[in-house]
A and B are shown apart, each in its own frame.
Chain A
Amino acid sequence: MASKPRVRAPKSASKGEVVEIKTLISHKMESGQRKDSDGNVIPRQIINHFEARFNGEPFFIAEIEPAVSANPYISFYHQPQESGEYEFVWNDDDGSTYSKKSKLTVEG
């Protein structure tokens, strides 16, 4: 149901620099509060969990509720001490997971 996870993370940073990371995933974030034209509740289906890892280690997590808007956007920070790889993972109520990776080079 979701698609196109998008991440804006730096490709390089200096050691100890605090960098900003912005993420977005296309998803309807059906809240479970709405009804269809026949009056039946439309079942909840949201992205309920987001995790940002660096070299396998989670450094930022978001526990997401239906109050988060469609196409959930999350921005946050990281202070890398070494070069490595980011992995960003989104979990859907339907059991699917979506992920995106990105490399970072730390200089100095």
Chain B
Amino acid sequence: MMSKAMSRRQVFFSIGGVAAAGVGMTLMPGLAKASPEEVQKAIKEMIGDTTPQEGKVSLDLPEIAENGNTVPVGVSVDSPMTQDSYVKAVHLMADGNPSPEVITFKFTPQSGRAEASTRMRLAQTQNVVAFAEMSDGSVYRAAQPVKVTIGGCGG
């Protein structure tokens, strides 16, 4: 018997919670977060041995993502975008996904502006990190945590 004290909303949430957990179990068996070594390997593949500096990169992300299957992400880099000085690439990484790489945007001086956006899957609450490779070889980094309410499957 259900307790009288349990409001309709509580009933709704408890049923919803069970349903969501059930879906999670069938869709994401053995979903593992990448190990710190895998994350380090992914970073090395993106930017080599260059030590990233802070600054120049801005991430546009929600603080809380209710649906981890589709989380909007935008990134912009402060750069004149001329032949002499431009952003070559921006790598986006999610360190709590089974595979940390998300997307690499490659720019040219013709891009006009080093800014791009997409939508990504986040398996759980984690940090989203952007690495920007500049034409002079320097690398800049920005990171932001995102709380994920219902994890996106795969990734």
Contact = CB atoms under 8 A, between A and B. Distances in A.
Contacts of B113: 18, 77, 79
Contacts of A31: 121, 153-155
A93 interface: no
Interface residues of B, number: 37
A47 B27 CA distance: 21
Contacts of A65: 99, 101-103
Interface string A31-65: 11111010100000000000000100111111111
Interface stretch (B50-58, B104-112, B134-142): B104-112
B103 A64 contact: yes
B103 A69 contact: no
Nearest to B114: A77
Interface string B4-35: 00000000000000000000001111010000
A18 B123 CA distance: 35
Q: How large is the interface on A (under 10, 10 to 19, 20 to 34, 35 or more residues)?
A: 20 to 34
A105 B146 CA distance: 41
Contacts of B81: 79
Interface string B115-140: 11111111000000000000000000
A78 interface: yes
A67 B102 contact: yes
A62 B106 contact: yes
Interface string B141-155: 000000000001111
A60 B111 contact: yes
A20 to B, nearest CB: 9
A76 B105 contact: yes
B103 A63 contact: yes
The 8 A-B pairs of least Cβ separation, nearest first, read A31-B154, A79-B112, A33-B154, A18-B112, A59-B110, A61-B106, A77-B113, A67-B155
14 contacts: A18-B113, A31-B155, A33-B28, A33-B98, A34-B27, A59-B110, A62-B118, A64-B103, A66-B99, A67-B120, A74-B118, A75-B117, A76-B116, A77-B111
